[in-house]
Amino acid sequence: MEPINIKILVTGVIIVLSFIGQSIVKKYLARYADNKGFSVHRKVYVGNFFGFLMSMLIIVGLIITWEVSFQGIAVYLASIFTLLGVAFVASWSMLSNITASLILFFAYPFKIGDYVRIQDGGDNSVEGTIINITLFNIRIITEDDVEVSYPNNLALQKPIKRYRKNARKQKDIIEDNLNRFE
């Protein structure tokens, strides 16, 4: 078999395996998200992220298969990485929020509808019901009907109390106990 035919065959195998791999990953992520009760938005975000990673692996596999000259591409890649590096440094907070979103997706400390308190030192603490978890922040509605967006990267760094749905908050229990003596 000629070398060009082998490269075409390997390219076909890479493409077929990538479709199979992507469908397996999507099914696994969908099953995992459904078991944990995640919202559709979170499933889409994480699915897109893994789709991007799979695409990068396909490109690397094709570059290796077709023996693309790295000398010619080196200058091109260096300039792209320089631009991306500057852009990433400028948006470092966004990257940390995206990474934190993925960690929160798999760690699953809370979900939409949970009543939580993010302890951020005194008056900065946020307490309420989670109404959405996006790629960049957690949206919480407080008892005063104020919607608060809390960055994902900070949510990973702060202690979070999650109250059970049927459980009452500690302050309600204390108030009930004090009212009994009136």
CATH code of the domain covering residue 122: 2.30.30.60
DSSP one-letter code for 168: P
Say what the pLDDT of residue 141 is.
92
Q: Of 68, 100, 124, which one is at a domain's C-terminal end? A: 68
**Mean per-residue pLDDT, 56-70:** 84
Dig out the tokens for 110 from the structure: 């809370």
Residue 170 has pLDDT above 70, yes or no: no
CB 58: neighbour CB atoms within 10 A?
18
Selected residue with higher pLDDT from 114 and 72: 114
Using the 8-state DSSP alphabet, how is residue 123 labeled?
Answer: G
31 Cβ contact partners less than 8 Å away, ≥ 6 residues apart: none
Domains in the chain, number: 2
Domain identity same for 93 and 157: yes
Residue range 135-148: average pLDDT? 92
Torsion of CA 102, 103, 104, 108, to 10 degrees: 110
Shared domain check, 107 and 129: yes
Q: 86 and 45 in one domain?
A: no
Residue where a domain terminates, one of 15, 42, 68: 68
Instruction: Provide the domain limits for residue 115.
Output: 69-182
